[in-house]
């Protein structure tokens, strides 16, 4: 008793230049037509009602107004901060760039071993100075010797 071999499905509507036109289908529904299968579900997006659209437009206008007010207040703050930095520069005889770096630099508030330009330069200098030295690391039960 022989079982019939599955025959590949040929698509006669495909273009002749399509290299995949004569290959069998890989879908479960076509390979196993006797088994039940679930139909493809088309997801529909719920559209907004007219009231929701109007509320969205009003919220957008309100957010733009709030953003404009915040921007003008921040500009005033930056102008007064600039004036105060100039006064401190004159009072303490320091460069403006140095004072601005002290004020805006976030490395003052970072962890000590956080990534920063100062730590990278220090690490490079330490490697440059300590070349030829060996470091012994004790990690029980092993001893690791590193040479530079």
Domain boundaries, the chain: 49-105
What 3-state DSSP class applies to 145? strand
Residue 86 pLDDT exceeds 90: yes
Tell me the average pLDDT across 59-79: 95
CA 16 to chain centre: 44
> Rounded to the nearest 5 degrees, what angle is found at the Cα of 49, between the Cα atoms of 47 and 54?
120
Q: Which two tokens stand for residue 135?
A: 């470091």
Entry field: residues in the chain: 148
What 3-state DSSP class applies to 118? helix
pTM of the predicted structure, to 2 decimals: 0.39
pLDDT of residue 80: 95
pLDDT of residue 130: 75
What is the chain's Cα-based Rg? Answer: 36
Residue 55 pLDDT exceeds 50: yes
pLDDT of residue 1: 45
């Amino acid at each position: 008793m022989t079982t019939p071999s599955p025959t590949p499905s040929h698509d006669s509507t495909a273009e002749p230049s399509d290299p995949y036109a004569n290959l069998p289908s890989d879908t479960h529904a076509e390979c196993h037509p006797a088994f039940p299968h679930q139909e493809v579900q088309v997801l529909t997006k719920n559209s907004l009602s007219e009231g929701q659209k109007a509320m969205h437009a009003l919220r957008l206008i309100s957010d733009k107004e709030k953003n404009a007010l915040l921007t003008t207040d921040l500009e005033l703050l930056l102008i007064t901060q600039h004036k105060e930095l100039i006064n401190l520069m004159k009072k303490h005889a320091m460069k403006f760039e140095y004072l601005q770096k002290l004020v805006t630099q976030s490395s003052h508030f970072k962890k000590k071993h956080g990534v920063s330009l100062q730590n990278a330069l220090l690490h490079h200098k330490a490697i440059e100075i300590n070349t030829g030295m060996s470091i012994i690391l004790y990690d029980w039960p092993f001893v690791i010797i590193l040479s530079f």
